[in-house]
């Protein structure tokens, strides 16, 4: 009988150790949300910027976009003079998104990408004029990782230099 009770005790200890190891993989660190009952309360879910210990929040959102702002549709006229300028912000998935713009976007005249080349040609229908200004279509025309200020100064001069004066759109 004593041998059987030792086996049951050993099985319970092994089960407890297994549960602790699994918990460490599922919920690493000391701040495990699965173990907190307060996280399930409606008050904690109401304000995601409120600190749990009631200290001032480290991150306060400056831009409170409405659903209308986030879900608005923008009409892009590929046959007109509309131009998409892609501003690449580092470490935000910009390279992947930039590649998606030239390879996967569904337009009347999608970009033509050749195997082995990083740059694609993104011409408007029936015109040898680009509709996309990004490193994957025009290259590093405004420098490596150009920021907003560099792009606003550089893009008009680069785009306008490739057109005849009479064909330049007013901006």
Any idea which residues carry the catalytic annotation? Answer: 145
By three-state DSSP, how is residue 5 classified? helix
DSSP string, the chain: -HHHHHHHHHHHHHHHHHHHHHHHHHS-SS--GGG-SGGGSHHHHH-TTS-TTSPPPS---S----HHHHT------TTTT--EE----TTTTHHHHHHHHHHT---SSPPB--TT-S--B-BPTTSS-BSEESTTTT-STT-TT--HHHHHHHHHHHHHHTS-GGGPPP-
Six-digit token string for 120: 């694609």
Q: Report whether 89 contacts 134 (CB < 8 A).
A: no
Tell me how far apart the alpha carbons of residues 169 and 83 are, in angstroms, rounded to a whole number.
11
């Amino acid at each position: 009988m004593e041998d059987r009770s030792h086996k049951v005790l050993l099985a319970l200890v092994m089960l407890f150790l297994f549960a602790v190891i699994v918990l460490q993989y599922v919920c690493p660190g000391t701040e495990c949300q699965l173990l907190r009952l307060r996280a399930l309360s409606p008050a904690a879910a109401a304000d995601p910027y409120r600190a749990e210990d009631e200290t001032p929040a480290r991150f306060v959102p400056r831009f409170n976009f409405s659903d209308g702002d986030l879900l608005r549709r923008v009409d892009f006229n590929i046959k007109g003079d509309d131009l998409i300028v892609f501003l690449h912000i580092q470490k935000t998935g910009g390279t992947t998104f930039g590649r998606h713009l030239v390879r996967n976007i569904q337009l009347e005249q999608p970009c033509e990408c050749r195997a082995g080349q990083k740059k694609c040609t993104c011409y408007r229908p029936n015109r040898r004029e680009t509709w996309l200004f990004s490193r994957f279509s025009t290259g590093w025309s405004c420098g490596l990782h150009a920021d907003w200020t560099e792009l606003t100064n550089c893009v008009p001069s680069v785009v306008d230099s490739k057109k005849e004066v009479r064909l330049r759109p007013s901006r």
